[in-house]
A and B are shown apart, each in its own frame.
Chain A
């Protein structure tokens, strides 16, 4: 008798954990990544080689780092279209400043200059969004255009060639660890861990979710709305800047026209990662998995037999499906709780 109840108990618990796991967005993502990998792996047996995995991770780096900032803004309840202009602005001007002041300084200086500039631009975003209450989408769309124009007009519109790039950036692009893993993957993991800890274990981090889920309640518990918003946008600006500097160093080329215009790819990856635009929901691991999935899909479309003409359509379709799936999940969980 005792054993029967015990077995039933484990059964139910196992069942419960299974269902709760299945309901999680991350599980769905892991499953789809595995399925995609198996499909691609059967077509191309090189896909499971260590080098390919490392390469895929390296391609994910930019989307993962920038995605952290975009995810924070989206948890706050808005789409940030100024992510790539901020990334490029900070990276390009940081490179220029470093070449001008100290061309031989270590790579950390480049990162620091970029992060300061990124934080400044994030501050401008926060100013208009929290003080003047401009809707996030309109503010970031317009400010993104302004950042781009200011960069091209006042900072420069000629790309910096690999020969002119700072030596430390060139060295950075050739730094590998663990037999072929690029060092920027570690930076991405570090950034994601940092964001995870901030969101999970700090008062501000809990405030981000509270602000996105129910702004009025968050205010009544005693959160300072403006301070919270400023910290979100400044942190997001720093993330974009890190992403931009990593991108510029890795491509060994600072082209001010580059990157800008790929905002939607990041936003799609973040949405795919389960961050809800209704606010208050989303995890950093989801964003990482979403970025990974979109990179795998993007890099291997041609392998599966999708021509480049269809790539845009497939991307759009995935975007629409991700958004629709998320809306469906939200509706279902609402029904369950009601």
Chain B
């Protein structure tokens, strides 16, 4: 949380030192921008519709909605930081859900004790993780060992996983699971819904991976420049494998969570979600080409996205427009970022040119004197 507190400190204490770091205004920092945007949206909503927006049911339903989208967004963000993309996560999550659902349907009987069912659910978690691991291995094998571009490789495996789920279910949804699983999906721990807590756990694990391990540094460098990491002795293949395994295993957990939350397992849940996860990644300041990223920012971007979503809901915008908003935002943000980058580059170039001119000018004068 140090970045978070730092950013808050930066808002209130503006230092005017001449060091490079302090010259960057906090407003240009992504987490500050996100906090301001969240505050504005929150204020508009809270003032405009205090009765509906601030009600505890609305807040807790927002937290529940964040949970599985959040895990997908985190998974996608890890691959985006590595300069890639993983389109197969949603279908992999559905595959995990479908496998677990068929298993639970086959095994669980009315007379089972609560203890055995909890044990079974634990087994389900392990199965989800194993499915995630296998999916990640397949994806990264295609990418790292065969050298297939990530978009194409994951597009292909996305279809493969969808096909496997189709074989298992025959395309039908599976509904009706033991009460214990539904308790996870709809339960509350104090005020906070359980799915949200699960999401927080996943997010913390990812935070540790990205910000506190050598792998985190490697993956950022890998996203910046693969050739450089290769020549500096980082095992590129290992980075790809780790990235996709992390993403796919989180997707497996998300699959189980969706099952618990919706009491159903379908082959094509969340068709639009890929776009939204990309949007959240871009909102959180991950460049479209990869190389940087921050879990705290992803968290803030998720909240912002959720606020925008519920704002559209409350405004009763037509469903077509609501589908379009994330896409339009995605395009707008990436375009704006490129535009700012170009302007900044131009400014830096100008500065450098002036500096070199000054130096050259001085040099010429000195030469003339001597």
| Complex interface residues of chain A between 306 and 338 (CB less than 8 A to chain B) | 309-317, 319-320, 322-324, 326-328, 330-331
A162 to B130, CA, bound (A): 51
* Residue B152 interfacial (CB < 8 Å): yes
Let me know if B148 and A327 touch, CB within 8 A. yes
Collect the chain B residues with CB atoms within 8 Å of residue A135's CB. Answer: 288-289, 334
A137 to B164, CA, bound (A): 25
Main secondary structure on B side of the interface with A: helix
Interface string of A83-111 (1 = CB under 8 A from B): 00000000000000000000000000000
A312 to B331, CA, bound (A): 31
Let me know if B163 and A277 touch, CB within 8 A. no
Collect the chain B residues with CB atoms within 8 Å of residue A314's CB. Answer: 163
Known: A277-B149, A319-B156. A145 touches B323 (CB 8 A): yes
A320 to B171, CA, bound (A): 21
* Residue A134 interfacial (CB < 8 Å): yes
Let me know if A137 and B159 touch, CB within 8 A. no
Q: How far is the CB of A3 from chain B (nearest CB, A)?
A: 48
Main secondary structure on A side of the interface with B: helix
* Residue A8 interfacial (CB < 8 Å): no
Let me know if A313 and B160 touch, CB within 8 A. yes
Interface string of B254-269 (1 = CB under 8 A from A): 0000000000000000
Let me know if A316 and B148 touch, CB within 8 A. no
Collect the chain A residues with CB atoms within 8 Å of residue B163's CB. Answer: 310-317
A137 to B289, CA, bound (A): 12
A134 to B279, CA, bound (A): 13
Collect the chain B residues with CB atoms within 8 Å of residue A310's CB. Answer: 163, 166-167
Smallest Cβ-Cβ distance to B160: which chain A residue: A316
Collect the chain A residues with CB atoms within 8 Å of residue B324's CB. Answer: 145-146, 149-150, 153
* Residue B327 interfacial (CB < 8 Å): yes
CB-based closest 10 A-B pairs: A313-B163, A149-B324, A316-B159, A316-B160, A312-B163, A145-B327, A142-B327, A132-B335, A316-B163, A153-B320
A35 to B326, CA, bound (A): 46
A333 to B293, CA, bound (A): 36
A141 to B149, CA, bound (A): 17
* Residue A133 interfacial (CB < 8 Å): yes
Interface string of B160-196 (1 = CB under 8 A from A): 1111101100110000000000000000000000000
Add 12 more A-B contacts to A320-B160, A322-B156 (CB < 8 A).
A128-B331, A132-B335, A132-B338, A137-B151, A141-B275, A146-B327, A153-B320, A264-B159, A268-B156, A319-B159, A327-B146, A330-B147
Let me know if A138 and B160 touch, CB within 8 A. no
Let me know if B153 and A323 touch, CB within 8 A. yes
Smallest Cβ-Cβ distance to B331: which chain A residue: A142
Collect the chain B residues with CB atoms within 8 Å of residue A319's CB. Answer: 155-156, 159-160
* Residue A22 interfacial (CB < 8 Å): no
Let me know if B318 and A153 touch, CB within 8 A. yes
Let me know if B146 and A143 touch, CB within 8 A. no
Smallest Cβ-Cβ distance to B272: which chain A residue: A145
Let me know if B148 and A312 touch, CB within 8 A. no
Which of these, A145, A157, A320, contacts B156 with CB under 8 Å?
A320
A243 to B318, CA, bound (A): 29
* Residue B249 interfacial (CB < 8 Å): no
Collect the chain B residues with CB atoms within 8 Å of residue A327's CB. Answer: 142, 146-148
* Residue B4 interfacial (CB < 8 Å): no
Collect the chain B residues with CB atoms within 8 Å of residue A267's CB. Answer: 155
A141 to B334, CA, bound (A): 13
| Complex interface residues of chain A between 259 and 292 (CB less than 8 A to chain B) | 264, 267-268, 271, 277-278
A138 to B157, CA, bound (A): 19
* Residue B328 interfacial (CB < 8 Å): yes
Let me know if A317 and B160 touch, CB within 8 A. yes
Task: Identify the interface centre among A277, A312, A326, A331: most chain B CB within 10 Å of its CB.
Answer: A312
A310 to B167, CA, bound (A): 6
Q: How far is the CB of A299 from chain B (nearest CB, A)?
A: 18
* Residue B321 interfacial (CB < 8 Å): yes
Let me know if B167 and A315 touch, CB within 8 A. no
Which of these, A141, A150, A324, contacts B142 with CB under 8 Å?
A324
A314 to B160, CA, bound (A): 8
Let me know if B152 and A79 touch, CB within 8 A. yes
Let me know if A157 and B320 touch, CB within 8 A. yes
A309 to B165, CA, bound (A): 9
Collect the chain A residues with CB atoms within 8 Å of residue B166's CB. Answer: 309-313
A135 to B163, CA, bound (A): 28
A316 to B153, CA, bound (A): 11
* Residue A38 interfacial (CB < 8 Å): no
A264 to B157, CA, bound (A): 12
A313 to B288, CA, bound (A): 31
Collect the chain B residues with CB atoms within 8 Å of residue A132's CB. Answer: 334-335, 338-339
Let me know if A145 and B275 touch, CB within 8 A. yes
* Residue A139 interfacial (CB < 8 Å): yes
Smallest Cβ-Cβ distance to B146: which chain A residue: A327
22 A-B residue pairings within 8 Å (CB atoms): A128-B335, A134-B338, A135-B288, A137-B151, A138-B288, A143-B331, A145-B275, A153-B320, A153-B324, A264-B159, A268-B159, A278-B149, A310-B166, A312-B163, A313-B167, A316-B159, A316-B160, A319-B156, A322-B156, A324-B146, A328-B146, A331-B146
A330 to B149, CA, bound (A): 12
Let me know if A134 and B323 touch, CB within 8 A. no
Let me know if A134 and B160 touch, CB within 8 A. no
| Complex interface residues of chain B between 317 and 348 (CB less than 8 A to chain A) | 318, 320-321, 323-324, 326-328, 330-331, 334-335, 338-339
Collect the chain A residues with CB atoms within 8 Å of residue B155's CB. Answer: 79, 264, 267, 319
| Complex interface residues of chain A between 116 and 137 (CB less than 8 A to chain B) | 128, 132-135, 137
* Residue B301 interfacial (CB < 8 Å): no
* Residue B89 interfacial (CB < 8 Å): no
A331 to B167, CA, bound (A): 33
Collect the chain B residues with CB atoms within 8 Å of residue A331's CB. Answer: 146-147
Let me know if A134 and B151 touch, CB within 8 A. no
Smallest Cβ-Cβ distance to A314: which chain B residue: B163
A145 to B323, CA, bound (A): 8
Smallest Cβ-Cβ distance to A137: which chain B residue: B151
Smallest Cβ-Cβ distance to B169: which chain A residue: A309
Collect the chain B residues with CB atoms within 8 Å of residue A149's CB. Answer: 320-321, 323-324, 327
